[in-house]
Structure 1
Amino acid sequence: MAKVSIIVPIYNVEQYLVECMESIVHQTLKDIEIICVNDGSTDNSLKIVQDYAQKDNRIVIIDKQNEGYGKGMNDGLDKATGEYVGIVEPDDYVDLHMYEDLYKIAHENDLDVIKADFYRFVYKNGTLIATYNQLSKDGTGYNQIVNPKEHPQVFRYILNTWSGIYKREMLEKYHIRHNTTPGASFQDNGFWFQTFAWAERMYFVNRPYYMNRRDNPNSSVNSKSKVYCMNEEYQFIHEFLDRNPQLKEYFIYEYSLKRVRNYFWNYGRIAKEFRLEYLYQLSKEFKEAMNLKEMREEDFTKLEWQKITRIIENPKAAYKWMNTSARIRKTKNFIKRRIRNVKKILHI
């Protein structure tokens, strides 16, 4: 049994795949299994991983018809044999010490989940620009064993599935898998939530190992026409909580907070012509959550709660108000930047 199975979900990423694979095959932890799931790529991606597999017997290739991210990830999880499981997106890459360092801590402390900080990066005019991201914004909660039932604030950390590893025994015991809605996006949300809800021994490392690309035009983050994928994913999570009331009593408010914040993020991501229609859907969902007493004002910022109540009362009026507020904030930020630039020039 390998110490870590690393799943790489692949679909038309020939431009980035070599950099990704190089960072995995040269990990300082040699006892790894690399599961490449080719989800019906029409470019050179399959050939690239086949060439790697000819030279490295740790690589397993699943070549399948295109069925979407969630199904491909689940096929990889079903194939995995490692003690722990990691995920690397094919347009990203990782520090060469990532899996050795994380596995050592996880194995020694019998962890269910271990996560680390990461970088987000883009290339501008050929120059790498990387931004450090702390999972815990206030810097607390690191380098200690945490039970989410006792510390539900971990659900407020940055959401991703790829900056850590998961004990496979836990994934199998609770059958933790991705949502498989065809053509959907953001299916990492459901997997992430399940791992946090079921884990009893978690650990967060305040060191970045993972490089997350933000300039791939084919990324779901940049697909402005996928309007309701986020909502479908949070319906999937809600159904999971309904099936597990012993978890729902602990985490329903954290679920609602994460859902609302991701809905607001999604509102800014989608094309402008869909935004009013989207607010009508949010109004419906927020009303239902209020009726079920699944949202508390105390969990949200003042501005967030103001948005929620306005959207519930009148989506069309909320749309106009949110557009006006956004323009005002944009103008204020522009003025602040100009003032900072002038101060730099004048050495003030």
Structure 2
Amino acid sequence: MAEVRYESASRIYPGNPPVRAVDGLDLEVADGEFLVLVGPSGSGKSTALRMLAGLEDVNEGTIRIGERDVTNVPPKGRDIAMVFQSYALYPHMTVAQNMGFALKLQGLPKAEIATKVREAATLLDLEKFLERKPKALSGGQRQRVAMGRAIVRDPAVFLMDEPLSNLDAKLRVETRANIAALQRRLGTTTIYVTHDQVEAMTMGHRVAVLKDGLLQQCDTPRALYDRPANAFVAGFIGSPAMNLVEVPVRADGVSLGGLDVALPRESTTAVANAGIDRVTVGVRPESLALSPSGAENSFELVVELVEELGADALVHGSVQGSDERLVMRVDGRTPPALAQTVAVTIRDAAELHVFHPGTGERLV
């Protein structure tokens, strides 16, 4: 069994005041799960991973792997294997020697090492490179060697710290698909750190979002997208980001772009119970649509930028008569022109997200 549990775990750096890089983290990773830690720079995601690896001290709380408390166990005693952002391959060794080096240090017989290396090379499509040196490999191949070095150890937990950040965009897409498929085949508990929310959404069984050392939400990618727990998660998850605007409350809804938009009854009840007259409304770019000029239930948007992405285009604009700025996704074949004023409607009020303007927490 290789469950991982953070129990009120904190990493505190000395200072005045002390810096809580990870603050009271409570998180459970199931046996065989692929969990992604995501957040902006400085959110504590890499520190949390390094705490599990034994490379950072745990100042408060505990960390468990299976039923074993590993809070004060040295890294070599934790039965983990880590893949870093840098490949950290020995340049004077062949691929086979790099992959088998840790097993050699453990004193395993040469025949057993060779068998394990061949098996890992087969999984990673590296058989024909086993006698090459790292300098003769591409970046993607070097990353696969670094993964192979972790696989041959057959650890209880894989830890991956932004392993794809040195790859170009096309290779990154291909490699992340390979990593996800490999994890499914091996069934090894994996914790993966990235700042790229697209990477997080496409790879993880669950995604844990961190900000300033605090866990904001941990759920499936779909749940994070459909029901973000707060405005930070709403703005971080999704590409492009959700539009977030603070707007006044009306009798049975809100005013967005000068348009009175009715909200579901549970939303208006939550707003009334909070006793506030303004809310932060979130609407995803794909929840907005172009409509005929002057159409009912529409507002005007002045186009300031059009990003053409092929099948889609992203239209950035300011709402006529206000300082509200919105992004919407439209058909890439017929995007509006710069400086054009277009009519915009909300596809479905049920797709609006309502957050407290002070705390940022979801109201319903």
Q: TM-score, normalised by structure 2?
A: 0.28
Bigger strand share: 2
Name the larger-Rg structure. Answer: 2
Bigger helix share: 1
